[in-house]
Chains A and B, each alone.
Chain A
Amino acid sequence: MKTATITFILWFNYFVGAYFGVVNTILAFLLALSLFAILRHIQRIKFAPIRDFHTSPETPPVSILIPVHNEEQIVLRSVRAALAGDYPLFEVIVINDGSQDNTLRKLINTFQLKKIDRVYRTFLKTEAVQGFYASADTPNLLVIDKARGGKADALNSGINASKCPYFCSVDADSLLEKDALIRIMTPVIESGKPVIACGGVVRILNGVELEDEITIKKVDLPRNRLILLQIVEYLRGFLFGRVGWDALNSLLILSGTFSLFHKHTVIEAGGFMVGNVSEDMEMIVRLHRLKRSQKKPYRIRFISDPICWTEAPETMKMLARQRRRWHLGLIQSISQNKIMLFNPRYGTIGTVVMPYYVFFEIIGPIIEVIGYVVVLLSYVMGLLSIRFLLLFFTLAIFYGVFLSTAGIFLEEITYRRYPRWRHMFRLLLFGVFENFGYRQINSFWRLQAVLNYLIGRTGWEYVQFKGRGSKKGGKQ
C-alpha cells in the first residue's frame, strides 16, 4: 500500500513537471508568433489609412456603450473622454443601470440633459427602462436610465437603443485614447472577411497623469507594487497572449473594457448573457458558435495599437475578487457552450482552443496549486531528488521569468508607452518578482473560483477602487 502511494506521488510529480513543460512550450510558441505578428503590425501602422478613414463618409458609424452603476466619481470623465474621440460619426450611450448614488443627476446637470420620449425596441429583452435623456448641445449623447439588471443587461439595453451598425463597449472607469475608435475600426473596414468583433489593448490607468481629466498627459508608474505586478501581467497578456491567438485566428477572449462588435451579429447571437459574470468572454464564444454553425466566413480580431486605459484594483482583497470573477466567467463561458468542446464542427475553436482553455486555464490552477504543495512536500520527505526539484523550478518559475521579461521586451520594441529608464528597470524587476508569489497567489484565487463554481457560488463579486468609491463587476 505504502509503495503504491509513493509510486502514485512520484508519478503525480512527473505529471506536474510535464504539465508545466507543455504549458511553457505553448506559451513559447505564442510568444514567437506574437513577436512576428506585432512587428509586422508596427510596420503596417506606418501606412495605415487612419487619416483617410477619419474624413471618409464610408467609415461606419459607431455607438459607444458605457454601462454605469454607482459611478458618480468617474462617470463624467469617461463620458467626456468618449465624446472627445476622433471619429467621423459616433454616438455615446450611457446606460445608468439602477444607480443609487448621484450618477444620473451628475450626468443631467453637467450635460444639460432633458428627459425625452423615445420608442424602446426590445430586440434583446432587458430590465425596464425608466427614461431617456438627451441634450441639444451634445446631440450624440444619450443617457438611458433603467432598472438594475447587471452589466450584460445594461449593454443589451444600449444595443436596443443604438442606431449604428457597430458598437464599442467601454467600462465606466476607462479612458479611450482619442484615435482608439478609428484604429479599432480599421481592420473592420479593410478586412476581406467580415470582422464581427475586434479588441484593443487595455492598459492600466493608475499612476498616469491626466490633463483636462480626459487626456493622457504623462505616463508614469504607480508606487503601489500590486499595480506594478498587474502592469507586467497586462503587458504579457495583451502583447503576446492575445496577439498570438489572433495570429492563429483563434481568439476566445476580448476584454469587455474595450471591444468593438457588429451589432446585428450580437443581436443574432441573442445579446450578452445576463447571469454570466464575464459576459464579454461568453459573447465571443457564442459569436464563434453562431458563425461556425452558420458556416459563414468571419473574423474576430485583436489589434495592438488602439488603447484604452483602465483602473486596476489596488488591494489584494479587491484583486482577489476580480480574478475569481474572471476565472468563474471563463468556466461559465466554456460550460455554457460545452457543445463546442472537441466538436470538429466548430473547427480549431472546438478542437484546439477550447480544449486548451479547459486543460490549461480552467484546470491549470488546480494542478499548479496542488503541484507546488506536493512537489515541495515530496522533496522534504525525501521522495524526490534535488534534480527534479531544480527541473520543476526551472519549468515553473524561471521560465515564467523569461516570459514576463519577454512581455516587457515586446513593449520596448513596439509601443514603449513607459518612456523613462526607471520605468523600464522597474518593469523588468517586477517581471522577475511576479513569478515569486504573485503568480502562485493568482493560481490560488483561480482555484477558489473553480471550487466556488463546483459548490454553486456563482454570484458577482464587486470590486471597489481605492480613493474614488466606484464599483466594477456588477451586483453586490
Chain B
Amino acid sequence: MEILVCVKRVPDNEENEIELNSAGNDIETDDLVYSVNEWDNYAVEEAIQMVDANGGSVTVVAVGDEESEEVLRREMAMGAEKGILVSDDAFEGSDGKGIATILKSVVEKGNYDLIMTGAQADAGAAQVGGMLAALMDVPYASLVNKIEVAGDGLKVGREIEGGDQEMNEITLPCVLSIQTGINEPRYVGIRGIRKVASVEIPTMSASDLGLGADAVCEGAAKVTRQDYFLPELGEGAEMLEGSTDEIIEKLIELLKAKGGLQ
C-alpha cells in the first residue's frame, strides 16, 4: 500500500504562551518553538504500522517554507521512506482550499492508495483533509481512531461524541484525517534523525506542480485572516495571589464553602 501523509510544521502549543505583538494585531513569532503538528505524528505512525503489516511505503509531504524540512526529516526518522517539500512564495496567504488544491496536485504526481492528514492543526479548522477528498472525488472519513485493512478497502473507526466509535467501510483510494490516541507514536532520537540527515528531500514549486496563481495564493483565497486579538470570554477567574500558604488557605476556605471537600 502506498500511503501519503500530509504534515505541517506548527508552533508547539505545549511549549508556547502565544502572545500578541506590540501593535496587538499579530502573534509574536520570534520566540516560538515549532514542531510537527501533533495529529500528523499519529498519522505518520499509523501509516508506518500499516506498511509494516501490509507492505508498501510511506511518503510524507509538507507545504511550507524551507524550515519545514526538519519536520519532514523527523517523520522520515520514524520510518517514512520519502519526503516531499512543497514550497513557493506564491503559496503565501493560501486558505484551506488553496492548501488542499496544492496537495491534490502532489497526489496526482504519485500513485497513492491512501492519503492521511492530521484531524486538525494549529488553526483548529480541521478542513484540509475533507477538502482534498472532495477535490479528488474520493471518499473521506474524519477523526479516524482505528484502521483495519478489509478486502479491497478499509474498515475505519471514527471518534464521535461521548467516546463512541462509528465504524465504517471505505473504498480505496480515500482520504482519512487521523485523531490523536489512535496509536502510540514512536520516539525519535537524535540518532534516528542523523540516519536520515543525508536523504535528499525534493522541493516542488508552483510551476513544478502546474499551479497558477488563480488556483492558490492570497488572490484565490476566499477566507483571509485580518488580525489576532485576545478573546474576552466571561469575566475571567478571580486570581488568587500571594504566598503559596496564603493561596492555599484561601482556596481551602472557598472549597469548603462550595462543597469541594467531602
A and B associate: no
- Chain B: residues with CB nearer than 8 A to chain A? none
Interface residues of A (CB under 8 A from B): none
